[in-house]
Amino acid sequence: MSVKSTKTNTKRAHRKSRNGIQPWNSATQKSTTNVESAPEAVVVLRGRGRPRRDWTTSEPAAKLADSSSASSPSTELTSISSISGATTNTPCPINVEEAELLLHFSSYIARTFSSTAASEEDNINFWAFNVPKIGLTYNFVLHLSFAVSARHLAYLQPQGEHHPHYIALAENHASIGIAEFNKALSELNNDNCGALYVSAILVCYCAFAVGPTGGGDLFICNVEDDTSVRWLPLIHGVRIIRETVDLNILFSGLMAPLNPLDQPFHSPHSKLTLDDPEQIDWEEPLQTLREFMISYDSSTSDTCVRSLDGLERLYEAIYGRSDGSFNDRREYQFIFSWLYRLEDAFVGCLHLKDPLALLVLAYFAVLLRTKREVWYVKGWEHHLLNRIRDFLREDFMHLLHWPLEQAGLV
């Protein structure tokens, strides 16, 4: 005779302890029931508050069990030994040198660069975060960033044992970056224009960071060397890009912070009074120089006057005029933008030590005072003015007095 047993389904009452509700779910249950399929993984259950001493064996196994069961309930736990073996057989080297250069670039160098960004915070974030991201796609951006970073690390320890090492790193990354930049510049398009634009700016910083290479080095050219400056055509690439690519395309995505059309510009110096030590009375000296060049009987006068016109826009944007007006285009507060717009004819005049071209360069050197304390500009202001003074004839020296006075060289 069969006896039919009955089973009563009684709902278990919920009991809450002082320590809170203990989590319990199917994934947790599965991680303990699947231990048999992974003999190397041992899950140890312990009471609350007891310190554990077997971190190397149980914790990874428990985590792997939880993650595997949560993502795919039917997947068995993979043993730790099999994972360790795969990692050992697949080396993943880390380039510590490049990691150091990237970290230094983002944490320090980015704060020393300037741009047409609307605010200091936008400017720092652009160089610290956006530029490295651009470099992940266009590696020449990273190489040029590394070159500047290595130059600064060498600058910080001029007599240190690692100085030659950082100089070698800087030259190597600059060489690779410029070569790749040149190649990409010949294939300018809407996709790579932003990377090329920021690279041209980095090339300019690289050139300044090297410092004067001799008595004939006038930055734009070397009057004692017939070979052309290798970076100058690359800096001119900025002008080519701006003339070729729609600004709304160029300054989009990661390049958006540099968009000069995005936000109104306010010069930090334009509201200063003439009594302020940061302000300079520049209008009369530049006007005197202009009148002299126009009246001077030379075939180079027109070329040099055009270069002076571009320079005057920078003075107007940075310092403003005595009547309170100023140039409201942010790109003209970026002093290196004058270099991007230089005509080849002016560079040729300078290479021949034409006195008018030398005077225009001297008035550009005065603007370097706005970055006098920045590491990559230090030394350039005095070097340029001293060399120009050596090259000019006596009958031009009266026009050089104002730049020398601004630099404290008279």
Nearest to 114 by CA among 409, 330, 393, 397: 330
Round to whole Å and give the CA distance between 319 and 126. Answer: 25
Q: Which residue has the higher pLDDT, 114 or 19?
A: 114
Phi, psi of 5 (to 5 degrees): -90, 145
The answer to whether the pTM exceeds 0.85 is no
What is the predicted pLDDT for the residue at 334? Answer: 81
Q: Per residue in 273-295, pLDDT tens?
A: 333 447 899 999 999 999 999 99
Report the range of poorest mean pLDDT among 203-217, 223-237, 381-395.
223-237
* pLDDT confidence bin for 23, thresholds 50/70/90: very low
- The whole-number average pLDDT for the span 194-202 is 94
Q: Provide the mean pLDDT of the chain.
A: 79
* pLDDT confidence bin for 233, thresholds 50/70/90: confident
pLDDT above 90 (res 307): yes
Q: Which residue has the higher pLDDT, 344 or 311?
A: 311
Nearest to 382 by CA among 362, 354, 359: 362
pLDDT above 60 (res 245): yes
Round to whole Å and give the CA distance between 367 and 312. Answer: 11
Are 335 and 367 in contact by the 8 Å Cβ rule? The answer is yes
What is the predicted pLDDT for the residue at 69? Answer: 39
Q: Hey, what are 211's tokens?
A: 């410092």
3-state secondary structure of 390: helix
Could you give the percent of the chain with pLDDT greater than 90?
51
Instruction: Give the single-character DSSP code of 249.
Output: H
- The whole-number average pLDDT for the span 313-334 is 82
Report the range of poorest mean pLDDT among 8-17, 105-114, 186-195, 339-348.
8-17
- The whole-number average pLDDT for the span 251-265 is 78
* pLDDT confidence bin for 18, thresholds 50/70/90: very low
- The whole-number average pLDDT for the span 61-69 is 39
- The whole-number average pLDDT for the span 89-108 is 91
What is the predicted pLDDT for the residue at 143? Answer: 98
Q: Hey, what are 244's tokens?
A: 């070729």
Q: Hey, what are 91's tokens?
A: 């080396």
Q: Per residue in 340-351, pLDDT tens?
A: 889 989 999 999
- The whole-number average pLDDT for the span 317-339 is 82
* pLDDT confidence bin for 228, thresholds 50/70/90: low
pLDDT above 90 (res 392): yes
Q: Which residue has the higher pLDDT, 395 or 328?
A: 395
Geometric angle at alpha carbon 135, from 131 and 140, rounded to 5°: 115
- The whole-number average pLDDT for the span 183-201 is 94
